[in-house]
């Protein structure tokens, strides 16, 4: 009887151990399944070469939240959008899809997207043979593209009049809806000159384009009018400048700030490029500008500018811009504007 009780006790102990083992196994399996499910829900980044709108060897880079499309054939970042979507806020000129730039053209090929020109624009006629179109080495030539991990680099030829080549490094934040572009000018040859890095982003017609007025603005009204006529829909209220596109006339305003905001039906794009203190900026001190284009090309431009520097061979200047894409969450766009600019 004693032997029987010992056997039964031993068997019961084995049963308890087996049960605990099974429970632990289930818990481990559940943890593994949770990890697998979590991993499956995490954004997945990728980088591929593709044909975009007829331009071969374009580059699409994604961090799983947003994606950028770079087109070396025309030297532009042509789109920035939420991952997996077909459209984004950048304006693209459909009539020029697949075409090549022409540095000899006297007509400006306005492709759209994001690009860089040298500022001040008023110096173009003194440095190049023309005051318009923009200097060909910045605007109308293909660029060489290279990929280093998740960073794409675009390198232009040397502009024959400025003696400058541009280098643009494009990357996406690791796990945020943010694109960063560092634009660098390298002066390699030619006479000394004054230049500023100017980045122009062309965007679809917005509900409104905005800028937060500087706390101690150098401009009496918080902005500088840069076009002949004042925009009919310009207003400054509660420290925020608001502007809509006028279908009849082009308009432009300048501000001494480092952020601008584009507001669409479903999304917003904020562009940040810090304004540096104690520096001289082109266009009578403007470091951020909003341009609105009349019909038939329905777009606006958010533009950021760096300080003016004297450039001699061997000089390098640069400017970094951050582009943050946001979903709209409020029925009233005014509430979204305040959250995006006053945070």
Encode pLDDT of 52-104 as tens digits.
999 999 999 999 999 999 999 999 999 999 999 999 999 999 999 999 999 99
- Burial class of residue 31 (count of CB atoms within 10 Å of its CB; 0-12, 13-18, 19+): exposed
* Spatial CA neighbour of 183 closest among 138, 147, 146, 141: 138
Residue 297 has pLDDT above 50, yes or no: yes
Token digits for 296? 């038939």
Whole-number percent of the chain with pLDDT over 90: 86
Look at residue 5 and tell me whether its pLDDT is greater than 80. no
> Which pLDDT score, from 0 to 100, does residue 16 have?
33
Which candidate, 332, 340, 325, places its Cα nearest to that of 79? Answer: 325
Per the domain annotation, does 146 fall within a domain? no
Inside any domain, residue 76 = no
Over residues 219-223, the mean pLDDT reads 96
Asked whether residue 6 is domain-assigned, the answer is yes
Phi-psi region of 280 (alpha: psi -120 to 50; beta: other; left: phi over 0): beta
Answer whether residue 8 shows pLDDT above 80.
no
One domain, residues 36 and 96: no
Res. 19: pLDDT tops 90: no
> CA 300, 306, 310, 313 torsion: positive or negative?
negative
Q: How far apart are CA 264 and CA 203, in angstroms?
A: 10
* Position 166 in a domain: yes
Is 178 part of a structural domain of the chain? yes
Q: State whether 2 and 115 are in the same domain.
A: no
Among 188, 131, 197, residue whose Cα is nearest residue 159 = 188
For residues 55-76, one letter each, b for 16 or more C-beta atoms within 10 angstroms of the residue's C-beta and e for the rest, the string is: beebbebbbebbbbbbbbbbbb
The average pLDDT across 22-39 equals 40
Q: Which range among 22-26, 172-176, 301-305 shows the weakest confidence by mean pLDDT?
A: 22-26
With 70 as the cut, is the pLDDT of residue 329 above it?
Answer: yes
If asked whether residues 38 and 174 sit together in one domain, one would say no
The secondary structure of residue 107, as a DSSP letter, is S
Q: What is the pLDDT of residue 240?
A: 97
My answer on whether 26 and 165 are in the same domain is no
Q: How many domains does the chain have?
A: 2
CB 202 within 8 A of CB 324: no
Model confidence band, residue 26 (pLDDT cutoffs 50, 70, 90): very low
d(CA 139, CA 117): 7
Domain that holds residue 91: 87-141+157-341
Place of tokens 């996406």: 172
Q: Considering the domain boundaries, does residue 215 fall inside one?
A: yes
Residue 49 counted as domain residue: no
The percent of residues above 70 in pLDDT, for the chain, comes to 87
92-111 pLDDT per residue, tens: 999 999 999 999 999 999 99
- CA–CA distance from 88 to each of 42, 83, 157, 211, 312 (Å)? 22, 10, 29, 21, 39
Tell me, yes or no, whether 101 and 38 share the same domain: no
Q: What are phi and psi for residue 42, nearest 5 degrees?
A: -75, 150
Q: Which of 336, 327, 325 is nearest to 179 (CA)?
A: 325
- 263 falls in which pLDDT band (50, 70, 90)? very high
Q: What is the pLDDT of residue 28?
A: 41
Give exposure, 145-178, as e/b (b: 16+ Cβ within 10 Å).
beeeeeebbbbbebbebbbbbbbbbbbbeeeebb
Asked if the model's pLDDT at residue 33 lies above 50, the reply is no
Q: Do residue 206 and residue 333 come from a single domain?
A: yes
Q: According to the model, what pLDDT value does residue 44 have? A: 80
The pLDDT score that the predictor gives to residue 342 is: 84
What are the two backbone dihedrals, phi and then psi, of residue 283, each rounded to the nearest 5 degrees?
55, 45
Average of per-residue pLDDT across 108-134: 97
> Tens of pLDDT along 134-177?
999 999 999 999 999 999 999 999 999 999 999 999 999 999 99
Between residues 179 and 30, which one has the greater pLDDT? Answer: 179
Same domain as 267, residue 194: yes
- 29 and 162 inside one domain: no
């Amino acid at each position: 009887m004693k032997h029987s009780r010992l056997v039964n006790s031993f068997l019961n102990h084995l049963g308890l151990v087996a049960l605990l083992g099974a429970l632990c196994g289930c818990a481990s399996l559940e943890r593994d399944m949770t990890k697998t499910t979590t991993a499956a829900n995490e954004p997945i980044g990728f980088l591929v070469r593709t044909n975009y709108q007829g331009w071969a060897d374009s580059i699409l880079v994604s961090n799983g939240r947003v994606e950028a499309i770079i087109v070396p054939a025309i030297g532009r970042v042509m789109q920035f959008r939420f991952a997996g979507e077909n459209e984004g806020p950048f304006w693209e000129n459909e009539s020029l899809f697949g075409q090549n730039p022409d540095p000899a053209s006297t007509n400006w090929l306005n492709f759209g997207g994001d690009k860089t020109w040298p500022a001040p624009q008023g110096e173009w006629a003194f440095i190049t043979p023309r005051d318009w179109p923009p200097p060909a080495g910045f605007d109308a030539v293909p660029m060489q593209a290279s990929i280093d991990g998740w960073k794409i680099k675009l390198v232009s030829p040397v502009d024959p009049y400025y003696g400058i080549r541009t280098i643009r490094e494009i990357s996406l934040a690791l796990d945020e809806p943010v694109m960063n572009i560092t634009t660098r000018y390298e002066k390699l040859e030619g006479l000394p000159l004054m230049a500023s890095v100017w980045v122009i982003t062309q965007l679809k017609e917005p509900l409104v384009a905005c800028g937060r007025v500087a706390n101690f603005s150098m401009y009496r009204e918080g902005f500088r009018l840069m076009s002949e006529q004042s925009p009919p829909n310009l207003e400054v209220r509660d420290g925020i400048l608001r502007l809509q596109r006028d279908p009849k006339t082009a308009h432009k305003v300048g501000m001494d700030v480092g952020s601008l905001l584009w507001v669409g039906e479903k999304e917003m794009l904020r562009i940040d490029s810090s304004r540096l203190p104690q520096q001289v900026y082109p266009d009578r001190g403007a470091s951020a500008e909003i341009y609105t284009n009349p019909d038939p090309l329905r777009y606006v431009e958010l533009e950021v500018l760096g300080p003016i520097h004297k450039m001699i061979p061997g000089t390098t200047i640069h400017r970094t811009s951050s582009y943050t894409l946001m979903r709209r969450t409020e029925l009233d766009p005014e509430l979204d504007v305040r959250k995006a600019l006053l945070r």
